[in-house]
Structure 1
């Protein structure tokens, strides 16, 4: 019998000065049994950085061939494809063809640096890549708790994240 994902409710407040987006989101997030808290919290961060009324978590969290989050336009086409982690070049190519805009949030320290050095995606004009420092994603994972509330304040490439007990400042490094 397959192990079922864990389901969490998260209340996030977003103040994005870059896009003038200010909103609260009560989200239900599924965590696959093989997914770490670090990866799940990076997905939450990716949501906050790109939040809109139509952005949603992808249907299958265990499918490595699809986006982690996406936004569809009124025609059903993919307007925004978001991947977290270290997707392979084949998936990035697929995403760049299917979506108008692709955003990747890599993390993992030295492993992410090696992934980036071997990646050849310069030809994909609609792809942006941001790297998150290893210590930042570990600190973000440490903020996790059931029923948590998190505030995200975003200005340029800096993200101030606060919870009831923790404050964290993350600087996004744009690679592409």
Structure 2
């Protein structure tokens, strides 16, 4: 018998001063049996960092993620089903990134492992012709500190200002400084 996903509930109070996105969002997160707290919290962080200001081009949603290798971790799809924004976590290979760029208007990859510089150095030159692609690195120690805040029921206050992300809960707080390895063309 297969092990089922564990359900986590999170309430996010987001104040993104950089993009002027504010609000409270209730999330139900299905954590795959093979997923770590760190990866799950990176999904929550990606949601907060890339939440659109409005739903005119569709909502940002968690996909099946690890349960379906053909889907990203998060995506924003418009009313016709077209993928507006594809968000992947980890260190996907060049082929997966190219396929995502063919399916979506925007593609974001967020890597959070200490091996990110080695991974990025190996594929950076192969992705020069993908103007839709943005790649971010979350420092590994900050990612691990964020994972320590994980609980089955979470109340997260997330403030984003000057590129820094501040995440606070009753358990503590973490400052995250995402590093842009590659910006998408405007």
User: Offset of 1:19 from its aligned partner?
Assistant: 1.5
On the 8 A contact 1:30/1:61 being kept in 2, the answer is no
Q: How does 1:66-85 map to 2 (within 5 A)?
A: 66-85=71-90
User: Offset of 1:60 from its aligned partner?
Assistant: 4.2
Distance in 2 between residues matched to 1:70 and 1:51, nearest whole Å: 10
Give the unaligned 5+ runs of structure 1: none
Give 1:12's aligned residue: 12
User: Offset of 1:76 from its aligned partner?
Assistant: 1.5
1:58-87 superposed Cα distances (whole Å, 9 cap, x missing partner): 134322332100001122210000001111
Number of residue pairs matched by the alignment: 175
1:92-122 superposed Cα distances (whole Å, 9 cap, x missing partner): 001101000001110110x211110101211
Instruction: Give TM-score scaled by structure 1 length.
Output: 0.96
Give the unaligned 5+ runs of structure 2: none
Instruction: Give TM-score scaled by structure 2 length.
Output: 0.91
Please list every run of at least 4 consecutive aligned residues from structure 1 whose deviation after the TM superposition is greater than 3 angstroms: none
Distance in 2 between residues matched to 1:60 and 1:163, nearest whole Å: 25
Distance in 1 between residues matched to 2:69 and 2:18, nearest whole Å: 30
Distance in 1 between residues matched to 2:77 and 2:155, nearest whole Å: 26
Distance in 1 between residues matched to 2:71 and 2:91, nearest whole Å: 13
Distance in 2 between residues matched to 1:14 and 1:97, nearest whole Å: 31
Give 2:116's aligned residue: 112
- RMSD of the TM alignment (CA)? 1.1
